Structure 1
Amino acid sequence: MASTEPRRTGPRGGGERTGPPGGGRAAAKRAFASVFRSLTVRNFRLFATGQVVSVAGTWMMVVAQDWLVLSLTGDSGAALGVVTALQFAPLLLLTLYAGAVADRYDKRLLLTVANLASATLAVLLAVLVLTGRVRLWHVCLFALGLGVVNAFEVPARMAFVSELVGAPLLPNASALSAAYFNSARVVGPAAAGLLVQCFGTGWVMLLNAASYPATVLALRMMRPGELHRAERRPERAPVRDGISHLAARRDLVLPMVLVGVVGMLGFTFQLTLPLLAKTVFHADAAAFGLLTASLAVGSLAAALATTLRRGRPAFTLVTSAAAVFGILQTLVGIAPTPTTAAVLLCCTGFASVFFAQAANHRIQLGTDALYRGRVMALYTLVFQGTTPLGALLVGFLTGRFGARAGLLLGGTASLLAAAAVGWADRRGVRTAGT
């Protein structure tokens, strides 16, 4: 039966109008503005600009250092595991104290000193490599030194983002930070692979050293009066107070446990990818750089996707992302060809950053500002500080059973951990409701 309502038409009788002219373009502009809204803050623009340059250099350094270790040791997975463990061991030992330092002192000054120290270490190692005097123990020593610097830099940097933009823009700024970090992961390893092939590892390390002044300059150009600092800094910031704040919150503890397992056993790509490239696929440095870049492309896509987040994510989103990451990493471990591995690594990169950002936002947005430095230090501790333990275990397994074993372990452990904490959360909810 025909409708008796009159048909609505446009001015020319061409049917119903669904929106104003240019509505699609206007929506696209609004979406674009929403993604990059934190960049309207001058201090954050400066910070992001300096970080893009510095982090690109850092990822070039990662590729060069890994390739140097393998070259010095005859492709030893155990040696690479030891160097990785030394670089992350200070995070395990010092990060809680560093979080208290970040809560008590000027984070901008802490970051300035940390970047200058990193530049100095990179120059010294580059000189040893370029003069042909480098030995494995030199690399181990400099990895340990860089780890000490990172132990103080990471919690200060993570807490500093909230000072740059304030709580309402924190999810967007955090996601944009992940976006430029992963942009650098795309450019850095790909460029480093080619540069190592053409010029050697020493020049890449020297180029990394030259990237740190960009961050230092950006930090010193900021306007301190525009920072969103707490009204008061604690005269004392005991680590135990931060731990107590965390322990009293099940909504913080469970994602922290999941972050610890995934960080320790799943995020071991610095160790597993060079071994996969060189010992399984028998690829050169350029191909290794491209595998790393494939992981970073997916990571960058996830970082951009999470810029649209405006609030604290649900815990089910955190566990689901961890489970998907575990499945994808397991598939990388059985990939038959470099091309298949590159495609799967791109998907794995997306899942890894989506999980990391969801967990970060879940924890950081649920934490009181007075404890944020110490809680984010705990986050850094369980996410990155457990890497030495994972690196030693994965290094042993890859030495005995090959590079694929490390990827299979990480994927399986991440999947099981997601299932376990999801069950614990549901059980806690049922218990609270009874």
Structure 2
Amino acid sequence: MVFMTLKESVTRNPIIETLSQPNYGRYVAGNSISLIGLWMHRIAVGWLTWKLTESGFWLGAVAFADLAPSIVIGPIGGALADRISRLLIVKVAQTIAMFQAVLLAVLFWTDAINIWLLLGLTFVNGVVIGFNQPSRLALVSSLVDKDHVSVAVAINSTVFNTARFIGPAAAGVVIVASDVGWAFIINAASYLAMLAALASIHILPETDAKKREKRGVLADIAEGFGYVRRHPGVGPMLFLMLVTAVCVRPFVELMPGFAADVYQRGAEGLATLSSTVGVGAVLAGVWMASRRNKSDAAVIALTSPVIIAIGIIIFASTDIYPVGVVAVAIAGFGMVASGVGMQTSIHLSVPSEIRGRVLSLFGIIFRGGPAFGALVIGAFSEFFGLQAPTLGAAILALVIWFFIWLRRQRIIAAMTSDLS
């Protein structure tokens, strides 16, 4: 009897139930490996940028080149995600990104790399991700049934941030023991695991992308923007996400400068800070995945930006390394709680036929917001150092959040009306 009770409790665990769905289980397995390589790549690019320039401005510029293309490409990717196979789009994007990583390694090992080439290749990668991200975000609803969407979103975030913990640590070891070229090669190899997983996934066409009446892509994009503008919940929540992305999220892109200039810790310190963000993020992801009450996702999305802002205010106010480490863990927790809450609300409240375009706006903000913020804060850092602009931006985010919080009842009601 005790054994049966234990077995029932395990099988009813929402995380195990979701991972037991074949398509999603395979996707998570491949994605887990690929994301570790991706985080190694990001740390390697940031560190290479710093070594080539020792400039906060260039850190911001490279981050901008990586993230900003989503602002232009994202809406097109979102329209395509609602027209053609999302699975096919992800496969093509992963293949291109794999070859880009190999090229970076070759350029580094042949001493042909310079900051302009690094900037250009990072921009190309940003364009690829801009096309890929809406399909990748919307694909979740095709891999699990509706009752498990919120858990799947949380698991994706946990996997992403577990990789944030493992990837930077591995990158630090690789960079110190050999060079950044090997970090790029390991990332390229990790894409093979993801491509193998995608090849084994079989989903019905009607759950992948809807057949749509023939009209222009621009009309589809306009429809997506119009939906967000008119929706009393989605619009304000995406605006809050934009404020958070621009004002507090750029600390991740600027972290190489903090590690080297503020905390005087070098590559090892950068790896530790990045990994600690992942620790806080994983804790938040596990907490979100373990919840069975999906109706409070909007509440969590609205409250979590305060946690991020407080973490960054502490991070930017000190040069004491252990305090900074704790602060980024707090920020990491808030980032994931906010992001998972937002994605879950969109998946559950936005109709399937327009979900790709709405999630493309989520992706634009997620990638483009930090790009713009990192560029601006990085530019100010040339005159005031990294700490003061980062601190000021976090305080500004906290002020704007307060005014949005005053409208919370209307926003939450709009996001949960379809769940009652």
Q: TM-score, normalised by structure 1?
A: 0.89
For 1:175, the equivalent position in structure 2 comes to: 154
Report which stretch shifted further, 307-316 or 371-380: 307-316
Q: After TM superposition, list the pairs within 5 Å mapping 1:61-100 onto structure 2.
A: 61-73=41-53, 75-100=54-79
Q: After TM superposition, list the pairs within 5 Å mapping 1:283-362 onto structure 2.
A: 283-310=265-292, 311-313=294-296, 315-362=298-345
Aligned CA distance change for structure 1 residues 231 and 319 (closer, same or farther; 3 Å): closer
For 1:191, the equivalent position in structure 2 comes to: 170
Provide the alpha-carbon RMSD of the alignment: 2.2
1:44 Cα deviation from its structure 2 partner: 0.6
Partner letter of residue 280 of structure 1?
V
Which among 17, 25, 31 is matched to residue 51 of structure 1? 31
Post-superposition CA distance 1:3-32 (Å, at most 9, x none): xxxxxxxxxxxxxxxxx857995686367x
Which among 235, 245, 248 is matched to residue 230 of structure 2? 248
Q: Distance in 2 between matches of 1:272 and 1:24?
A: 50
Report which stretch shifted further, 235-244 or 219-228: 219-228
Q: Distance in 1 between matches of 2:312 and 2:230?
A: 33
Report which stretch shifted further, 161-170 or 311-320: 311-320
1:191 Cα deviation from its structure 2 partner: 0.7
Higher gyration radius (CA): 1
Report which stretch shifted further, 34-43 or 399-408: 399-408
For 1:222, the equivalent position in structure 2 comes to: 201
Q: Distance in 1 between matches of 2:412 and 2:150?
A: 26
1:429 Cα deviation from its structure 2 partner: 9.6
Aligned CA distance change for structure 1 residues 226 and 26 (closer, same or farther; 3 Å): farther
Q: TM-score, normalised by structure 2?
A: 0.92
Partner letter of residue 337 of structure 2?
F
Q: Distance in 1 between matches of 2:349 and 2:49?
A: 41
Q: Distance in 1 between matches of 2:199 and 2:297?
A: 37
Q: After TM superposition, list the pairs within 5 Å mapping 1:27-42 onto structure 2.
A: 29=10, 33-42=13-22
1:287 Cα deviation from its structure 2 partner: 1.9
Report which stretch shifted further, 404-413 or 125-134: 404-413
1:245 Cα deviation from its structure 2 partner: 1.8
Report which stretch shifted further, 236-245 or 271-280: 236-245
- Kindly tell me the number of residue pairs found equivalent between the two proteins: 409
Post-superposition CA distance 1:324-374 (Å, at most 9, x none): 221121111123421121122112211111111112222332111100000
Name structure 1 gaps, 5 residues minimum.
Answer: 1-19
Aligned CA distance change for structure 1 residues 375 and 412 (closer, same or farther; 3 Å): same
For 1:397, the equivalent position in structure 2 comes to: 380
For 1:15, the equivalent position in structure 2 comes to: none
Is this contact kept in 1: 2:60–2:254, CA < 8 A? no
Aligned CA distance change for structure 1 residues 341 and 350 (closer, same or farther; 3 Å): same
Aligned CA distance change for structure 1 residues 339 and 224 (closer, same or farther; 3 Å): same
Is this contact kept in 2: 1:37–1:172, CA < 8 A? no
Partner letter of residue 401 of structure 1?
F
Is this contact kept in 2: 1:86–1:140, CA < 8 A? yes
Aligned CA distance change for structure 1 residues 145 and 363 (closer, same or farther; 3 Å): same
For 2:241, the equivalent position in structure 1 comes to: 259
For 1:239, the equivalent position in structure 2 comes to: 221
1:383 Cα deviation from its structure 2 partner: 2.6
Which among 379, 396, 401 is matched to residue 413 of structure 1? 396
Q: Secondary structure of the residue that 1:313 maps to in structure 2?
A: helix
For 1:202, the equivalent position in structure 2 comes to: 181
Is this contact kept in 2: 1:264–1:383, CA < 8 A? no
Is this contact kept in 1: 2:172–2:271, CA < 8 A? yes
Q: Secondary structure of the residue that 1:271 maps to in structure 2?
A: coil
Aligned CA distance change for structure 1 residues 166 and 285 (closer, same or farther; 3 Å): same
Partner letter of residue 393 of structure 1?
V
Q: Secondary structure of the residue that 1:36 maps to in structure 2?
A: helix
Post-superposition CA distance 1:27-58 (Å, at most 9, x none): 86367x22232111111111111111111001
Q: Secondary structure of the residue that 2:96 maps to in structure 1?
A: helix
